[in-house]
Structures are given as C-alpha cells and as structure tokens.
Amino acid sequence: MRKAIKRASGKLTARQATELKALQAMPEKQIDYSDASSAKPEEWRGATVGKFYRPIKQQLTLRIDADVVDWFKNQGRGYQTRINELLRDVMMKEVKH
C-alpha cells in the first residue's frame, strides 16, 4: 500500500492522504471491510483491469525514423496512441522482470 499512496498522492486531497496513512498504520484485523464488494472471484472473470485508468500525458519532441512514422500513419488515425501502446507493452514486460 505504501507505493500506492506514493503514486497517488499527487491526486489526493490532504484529507484522503491522511486517511490512507492511518489505514496503512492500522492492523489488518481492525480495518472495517463491511462495505467492500462481496463478489466472488468467478464473478470477476472477464473484468477489464485498468479500463478507466488514464495516465497523465507528457508532450515531448521525439525523433523517429521517417519510414517508421509513415508505417504507423498509414495504419490510420491514432498512430500516436498505437506508438504509446507499443512502448507501454515493452515497459510492462521490462518491469515484470
């Protein structure tokens, strides 16, 4: 949970951050889970993880070979999104190792 607080702290209010830190310090048996989903694992089958996750975009200048850019553009609209998806796939594979 410590990493989650660190990553999300830029988007949390001071009150939310304080509450998360208090939960983090609390022993597991004292946390009230009564409002947590009672869905069984089989009910989550087919769920999409991160469907509504929208990372912050950063504009930058990147020099890419012209033939590579042409190849992406020739596939139609959304070429920057496709480039980003490929880069994210590579990043996620690297992070898992």
| Shared domain check, 92 and 60 | yes
Q: What is the per-residue pLDDT for 89?
A: 95
| Shared domain check, 95 and 63 | yes
Q: What is the per-residue pLDDT for 55?
A: 86
Structural domain harbouring 6: 1-30
User: What pTM does this model have?
Assistant: 0.48
| Shared domain check, 95 and 58 | yes
Single out the residue of 58, 61, 55 nearest to residue 8, CA to CA. 55
Q: What is the per-residue pLDDT for 53?
A: 82
What H or E segment, with its residue span, contains residue 9?
none
Report yes or no on 35 lying in a domain.
Answer: no
Report yes or no on 3 lying in a domain.
Answer: yes
Q: What is the per-residue pLDDT for 41?
A: 87
Single out the residue of 77, 15, 87, 79 nearest to residue 55, CA to CA. 87
| Shared domain check, 58 and 97 | yes
d(CA 8, CA 56): 12
Report yes or no on 58 lying in a domain.
Answer: yes
Q: Is the per-residue pLDDT at 73 higher than 90?
A: yes
- The number of folded domains in the chain is 2
